[in-house]
Amino acid sequence: MKIAVLSGKGGTGKTFVSVNLAATLGKCTYMDCDVEEPNGYLFLKPEIRAEEKVTVNLPAFDAEKCDGCRACVDFCRFNALAYIMNRPVVFPEVCHPCEGCAMVCSRDAVSFQKKEVGTVYQGASGDTEFISGTMNIGEASGVPVIRRILEKSSDCDGISVIDCPPGSGCMVMETVSEADYCIIVGEPTEFGKDNMSMVFKLVKGFGKPVGAVLNKCTGGKNPSEEYCIEEGIPVLGKIPFTRNTGNLSSRGEISCLADGELKEIFISIIGNILNEMKEGVIG
């Protein structure tokens, strides 16, 4: 079973919830899909045993064969090709490697070269299997790296926790489409509520079962909790805001390992997810 941990807004505690869930479960797989800014490794401190470069196919042009017909330039909807100084030129940053340029070329002048866009890491932290990836600096899209991480996860048995990127765009969608259950992590602000609603709509669009973890609860007004009640989103658990939890996380410690009460909260969150899934299957 794959559990995706989402939030919409950044910094509400996706990685905090993901690593604490993984530590509470022990035997499970943790996957960090926030390939732009991965942080899970800072907490799980895994031993990395395998590293794999992720590549995409970039077009290259044989100037001898090219007759300057510009069919490729006209075909490319990403504006990644231009005809300059009598030859086609590629702008690698905007190329979405669809390979259409090669298909439309009547002179067989297009070949492909592999371009490295990131790296996927596999390892272990105690009983927890660890998979993460990084997108190379200056790249626009982390999607190829995320896809490779998710492909690797298909070999994993048991429960997998997917630590997702923020937002509700294409990268988040990739991870949601793979999930069996989605957790939205909320914080008690109007910002958190607004972004929670965006992700909730995305998850609902995919028809995935969903629950919320309310993080940084202070006892004061909690707009995210109000939203959960309005929309009927089950609240799987509420994590109180304490300076101690904040300080443990700031040092890269997994808080539930140092705080018995927090561990109980995570045990109950896991129980609630399993119950939700059971009801879902029967219902």
Partner 1 sequence: MKKILILSGKGGTGKTTVASAFIHLLNSKSYADCDVDAPNLHILNRQQCEPETEEYCAMPKAAADRSLCSGCGLCGEKCRFGAISYDGEGKAVINSFMCEGCGVCEYVCPQKAVRTEQVVSGYTYRYNCGDESDPEIPAFSTARLKMGEGASGKLVSKVKSNMKQLDDESIAVIDGSPGIGCPVIASVSGVDFVLVVTEPSVSGISDLKRIVKTLKHFGTPHGVCVNRWDINPEKTEEIEKFCNEENIMVAGRIPFDEEAVKCVNRGISIADTDCAAGKEVRKILQETLKILENR
The footprint of partner 1 (CB under 8 A) covers 7-12, 15, 34, 36-39, 42-43, 57, 75, 77-78, 93, 96-100, 103-104, 135, 137-143, 165-173, 177, 187-191, 194-195, 198-199, 201-202, 205, 218, 220-221, 223, 243, 246-247, 249-252
Which H helix or E strand runs over 5? Answer: strand 2-6
Burial of 173 (0-12, 13-18, 19+ CB in 10 A): middle
Distance spanning both ends of the chain, measured CA to CA: 18
C-alpha radius of gyration, the chain, whole number: 22
Least Cβ distance, residue 3 to partner 1 (angstroms): 19
Would you say 3 or 172 has its CB closer to partner 1?
Answer: 172
Least Cβ distance, residue 60 to partner 1 (angstroms): 16
Least Cβ distance, residue 5 to partner 1 (angstroms): 13
**How far, CA to CA in Å, does 221 sit from each of 8, 80, 95, 216, 227?**
20, 49, 46, 12, 12
Tokens of 164: 């997702």
Across 199-217, b (16+ Cβ under 10 Å) vs e yields bbebbeeeebbbbbbbbbb
Least Cβ distance, residue 241 to partner 1 (angstroms): 9
Would you say 100 or 211 has its CB closer to partner 1?
Answer: 100
Would you say 34 or 159 has its CB closer to partner 1?
Answer: 34
Least Cβ distance, residue 258 to partner 1 (angstroms): 15
Tokens of 44: 């799980």
Would you say 42 or 60 has its CB closer to partner 1?
Answer: 42
Least Cβ distance, residue 186 to partner 1 (angstroms): 12
Would you say 34 or 129 has its CB closer to partner 1?
Answer: 34
Phi/psi for 189 (5° steps) reads -135, 165
Q: Report the alpha-carbon distance of residue 90 to residue 143 in Å, rounded.
A: 20
Least Cβ distance, residue 125 to partner 1 (angstroms): 15
Least Cβ distance, residue 268 to partner 1 (angstroms): 25
Would you say 159 or 216 has its CB closer to partner 1?
Answer: 216
Nearest to 32, CA basis, from 163, 175, 176:
163
Across 96-111, b (16+ Cβ under 10 Å) vs e yields ebeebbbeebeeebbe
Would you say 102 or 277 has its CB closer to partner 1?
Answer: 102
Please give the distance of CA 217 from its chain centroid, rounded to a whole number: 25
Would you say 104 or 267 has its CB closer to partner 1?
Answer: 104
